[in-house]
Each structure stands twice: as C-alpha cells, then as structure tokens.
Amino acid sequence: MARLLFPLPIAAAAAAAASPIHIAASRFRLPLVSVARREALFGGRAGARAPARLATRGVSVGADAGGSAARAATVIGPEEALEWVKNDRRRLLHVVYRVGDLDKTIKFYTECLGMKLLRKRDIPEERYTNAFLGYGPEDSHFVVELTYNYGVESYDIGSGFGHFGIAVEDVEKTVELIKAKGGTVTREPGPVKGGNSIIAFIEDPDGYKFELIERGPTPEPLCQVMLRVGDLDRAINFYEKAFGMELLRTKDNPQYKYTIAMMGYGPEDKNAVLELTYNYGVKEYDKGNAYAQIAIGTDDVYKTAEVVRQNGGQITREPGPLPGISTKITACTDPDGWKSVFVDNLDFLKELEE
C-alpha cells in the first residue's frame, strides 16, 4: 500500500514522523468492495462489529501534521474508548521498510524465503518504487512493503529493530536453501535459548534479520515483528489500551537478561504478532532510518487517533483522507517512538479492488 509509506531521502530520515505521505495522485476512483474481500478482512475476529457511522459530537477542524490538509478529532470517553477498541476490527496489514536494491531484495525473498511478489509500483514523480511481498493476498495476509528511494543504496537499521519472524516446517532445509543461494546465516538451526522451539537466524541483502521458526502448516507464515522497548510494562499497557491488542504471553529469561511479550489480534499460530523485547537496564535504542512502521486496519481512524492520544501516544498525522483520494488514515508513535499507521478498513479494500 504505497500511500502509507514515508519514502525518505537519507538526509531527511531523522524527520520521519513529520514527513509527507507520497501518493499516486492519478488513482482517484474507488470501486465497490466485493463480499469476498469484506469477509477476508473482517471474518476472523471474534466479537467484531460492523463499522458504525462516526459520531458527530466534538468534531473540530484544523491542519494536519504537515500543515496542508483538514483534520478531525473525535471526543470519546475513556470507558467508551476501551469498549470500542475491543470491538474494532483490527488486523496487521503491512510492515514497511526501506531497501537499497529492490530487485536484489525481491529475488532473495522469492527464491530463499518463498514469498510471492504481489504487486510493484514505481512513482517517478516522487522518486521511489515500492513492492509488496508475502505468502498470500493482502486482504487476508500480513505482508512486507518494501521501499526503494532513488539513489539511496543503504540505510542504518539501528539497535532498536530486532527481526521479522517466518514460520517454516523445516528450519534446517530452509537454511540449506538459503546458503545455497548465497544468503547469510547468523545463527545455525537449534533450540531457542531457554526453550525447545527450533529456530535459526538469517540476514537479507540489506541486513534485516529474519528468525526462522519451525512450526506446522500455518495460514500466516510471516508471523512476527520484533521491536525493542525501554519499559515493557508501559509498552504492554499502551498496546492493549490504545491498539486493542491482546497480551498473548510473556517470558522472562533472567539468564540472558531479557523479557519478551507477544501481542496481537489472535493466536500466534494463526496471526502475525508483535514481539516486544526488554533488555534489562536498557531504556533507549537507536531506531536508525531503515525500518519505517506497521500498518493496521481499523473501522474508524478518527476514534483510533483519539484513543491513542488518551493512552500516551503521539499523533504524527491527523486522521482524515489522503490528499486527492478517499483513503482515510492516521499515523502515530508509541511511548518508545515506534511508528504505526492506521488505515480505514473499507478504504483499504477499495484500493485493492482497483
């Protein structure tokens, strides 16, 4: 979904939170959404309700974070917010990051990791290209959104981003294939520290780490995004209340001085999840300029923005339609500075129908 992307020149990466959103201005028409598309996106979350019309009370108008578009803010009480977030139909849509050689990365992901190239689009007027890859259609699977900014060959991944997780049925065979293709293996197959799961770690051509996790067949092979946080309890509280995620499990590893928390919108074996890692005593991390954000579906970007504010998040792009088109989004950062973009569910499906 290119419109959610913030493809930055390297010199401007430090200003990512305030950067403009690049869009394809020629794509204005939004067709009707098929029943199949609706069911694919909305069929899986227990207790989900149909999108309600946005309440009109407490609406104000001003400029967005970039100072160029209208915005709306919805007043919603804390109790109402908690209940609404629980029933909002949310799903992890994309994880967005920057690469220095798009063709090389696509080749690695398709030949070594078994992903499919779902679509690719060049935006010459904005000097960037993006590609979407994954293990199934975007309306029902979590996928990667790669961005290549013209002339930028490398990025700083930083120390805060951890890895992506991919579930495979045979870690050892996958590692052998990756080695045969010239890939880099940074951790040979074996049991995870302090556990029994068989894992391995590899790096893609840009240095992003992937954890290969041995599991049986799963509907969501692209299964994890790991980010490091400085206060785990604060992060858990934020993602529960502001993002409506469920705390699936935590695991403390005192021998190795770290604790993890798995959070998401459904069980780990069937859904992509966010893995938050706290390393004892480490409060801050360098986020670099390579990893960008996660995109999440929502029924109402206006209410989402208000709930994020109430729970300590910072809105970096006020809710509303993108310039020239009807896709409504809002962008925010969590208490650790990690960025996310929320996208209107129906608008997202309409884009895929084009």
Q: How many Å apart are CA 156 and CA 168, to the nearest integer?
A: 28
To the query of whether residue 211 is one of the catalytic residues in this protein, the response is yes
Nearest to 247 by CA among 271, 231, 225, 266: 266
User: Which two three-digit tokens encode residue 164?
Assistant: 């992506």
User: Which two three-digit tokens encode residue 346?
Assistant: 């129906």
Nearest to 202 by CA among 158, 228, 166: 166
Name residue, tokens 């049991």.
Answer: 191
Q: How many Å apart are CA 170 and CA 166, to the nearest integer?
A: 11
The residue annotated as part of the active site, out of 138, 145, 211, 306, is 211
Nearest to 95 by CA among 130, 48, 125, 65: 130
Positions marked catalytic: 211
